[in-house]
Copies of this chain bind each other. A is one copy, B any other.
């Protein structure tokens, strides 16, 4: 059995997998963020003890919400952690059980890539949430990058003369294609009569109105998908993945989003990259847990 554990800011998800890949059991515990998250590790250990016969464990994979260098979680603001080496800690607690640690967006990318009927060799995962994140998979492995920045899709600078991003740079994809970015764009453009109410706009409301044909909302989404298509085009000529997979809250707009995106991508795509499919994520909030499992399984079986 393998354990995949996704440590989030409010919940920690556990998945116990058979070596075949079948999910045997899943459960969650609350994340205790008190005292800079110092109880989290003990809570996880206790929960493993309560739910798993340790001697059956072949590996534990973690997904953590922050930059990871090797097995070190450099910083996880949502947990209060700085420089926590999960591998060192858990290999002390369970000496014979190999441990891997991945950034949660990267783990989610691996989970999505491996969970298709035919697992992708290469795939780029784009999460459109409060921010824009993602992960790059090549040869069924996470591209972490030399500084842990691999897959930081949200910081592709694809808007000329764009606004300043949280990262300090300007024109980042995240300023347009995140839930926050979509609302910002709509509020900036808010002039003409529309069914939208300026102060209560959300990305979901804008998408819903666009689906109903509201001209203003259609126009906002049209701009957002233009920018997103350009970002995917740029990724395509660098690594030419088997597929793009779109996840995160904004992706709940479903095929209304991906169909529009695919049509625009096809128009600007270089050569045969126009054959790259653009799909919706299938694992939802479990992607990180699945990816954590696949990561440790790969390491153990390598």
Contacts and interface: CB of A to CB of B under 8 A. Distances in A.
Interface string A120-154: 01101000000000001011010111111111111
A78 interface: no
Contact of A152 (B144, B156, B270): B270
B240 A146 contact: yes
Contact of A156 (B146, B154, B237): B237
Copies of this protein chain in the complex: 2
A237 B148 contact: no
A236 B234 CA distance: 12
Interface string A261-291: 0000000101111011000000000000000
Nearest to A270: B155
Residue among A136, A144, A167, A273 with the highest chain B CB neighbour number at 10 A: A273
Size bracket, chain A contacts: 35 or more
Interface in A146-193: 146-158, 160, 167, 169
Contacts of A239: 136, 143, 145, 150, 238-239
Nearest to A156: B234
A270 B149 contact: yes
A23 interface: no
Contacts of A276: 146-147
A124 to B, nearest CB: 8
A141 B139 contact: yes
Given A139-B139, A160-B160, A230-B157, A240 B147 contact: yes
A156 B272 contact: no
A151 B238 CA distance: 5
A221 to B, nearest CB: 20
Residue among A136, A155, A237, A276 with the highest chain B CB neighbour number at 10 A: A237
B241 A167 contact: no
A149 B240 contact: yes
A233 interface: yes
A155 B237 contact: yes
B233 A235 contact: no
A229 B159 CA distance: 15
A242 interface: yes
B122 A240 contact: no
Contact of A136 (B139, B169, B238): B238
Contacts of A139: 138-139, 141
12 contacts: A124-B238, A136-B239, A138-B139, A138-B143, A147-B272, A149-B236, A149-B273, A152-B270, A154-B237, A155-B237, A234-B238, A238-B238
Given A150-B239, A153-B238, 8 more contacts: A146-B240, A148-B272, A149-B240, A149-B271, A152-B240, A155-B271, A169-B268, A234-B234
